[in-house]
Amino acid sequence: MRARNWVRTASAVRHVLAGMVVAAAATGLVVYGLNGSGNEASAAPVAATDLKTVPFEVSGELPIYPKALWSNGASSAEVRKVEARLIQLKLLDKRWLDNSFGTMTRSAVKKFQSSKGIPELGYVDQNTWDQLKAATHEPTQKELFPPAPVVDGKKLDQRCATGTALCIDKSTRKLRYVVDGVVKLQFDVRFGAKKTATREGAFSVGWKSRNHVSKLYDSPMPYAMFFSGGQAVHYSSDFAARGYAGASHGCVNVRDLGKIKYLFDQVKVGDKVIVYRS
C-alpha cells in the first residue's frame, strides 16, 4: 500500500515538473532533466510570432481631484450656509435652502465655479469655499431660517417659508399658495376619509393633468396636481355641492373652480407640497 502511494506521489510530482518545463520553454530558459542524471535539456525557443501580446500604453498624468468638503448627498448645517451664500448670488432658488446637497445645489456650485474660472467639480472643495466666502457675506439668521408666514395670527409650517409651496393645513382645512414666504392664494379644502387618509409630510408636485379622470374610481379630477402616488390637489364638484358632508379618497379637494384654474397655471412640477397639522 505504501509503495502504491509513493508511485502516485512521484507521478504527481512529475506532472508538476513537466508543467514547469513547458513554462520554461516558453521563455527560452534551460532546465535539467527529470531522470535524475543531471544532464542538461535545452528547450527550443518559441518564435516571437507565436506569442500574443496585448498593447498597453499610458500617456499624460492622471488627474488628482481636490478633497471635497461638501458634495452630492451631504446633509448638514454647513451645507445650509453654502446654499444661503449661493442664494445671495442668485445662483440658487430659495426653495432649495434645505440643508441637503442635492441636484440643484450641485448645479449652482458648478455655475459659481464656472464664473470664477475654476474647475467645474460640482462639489465644494477648499478653493471653491474660500472664493465663495470672498464673494458673499456671512448669512444672517433670517437668511438661514426665513420666518414662517403668519396668517390670522398663526404661523404656517416653517417648510412653507421658502420657495414656492402648496401649504396645506389639515387642522384648519386650508390650502395656501405661498411664494417666498408670502401667501398669494387661500382655499377651503377637504381630505380623505379615515380609511383613505391624505398623507402628511413634505412632498413635491410630480406631474399635472388638466382634465384627469381617475381610472380607479372612474371620477373626474380636473386641474389635478399629483404629489404623493395617486393623491393630488384637484377640483371636486362633490365638495362644491356637498361641502364637508363628504370626503375624498385621499386627495386634497378644492371647491373654488375659478381659483384652482388660476393656481393650476401657476404651479410648476417640482414645487413643494407641505401637508401638516397646525
Residues marked as catalytic: 234, 251
Find residue 166's DSSP bridge partners.
177, 273
At 40 the three-state DSSP class reads strand
β-strands 30-32, 40-42 pairing = antiparallel
Residue whose C-alpha is closest to residue 180's, from 272, 256, 245, 242: 272
> Based on the number of CB atoms within 10 Å of its own CB, is 209 exposed (0-12), middle (13-18) or buried (19 or more)?
middle
What is the rounded CA–CA span in Å between residue 268 and residue 264?
Answer: 8
The answer for residues whose C-beta is within 8 angstroms of residue 215's C-beta and 6 or more apart is none
What is the rounded CA–CA span in Å between residue 145 and residue 236?
Answer: 36
| Contact between 260 and 175 (Cβ < 8 Å) | no
Backbone angles phi, psi at 249, to 5 degrees: -95, 20
User: Taking the CB of residue 118, how many other CB atoms lie within 10 A of it?
Assistant: 14
What is the rounded CA–CA span in Å between residue 180 and residue 94?
Answer: 7
All cell numbers assigned to 139: 448669512
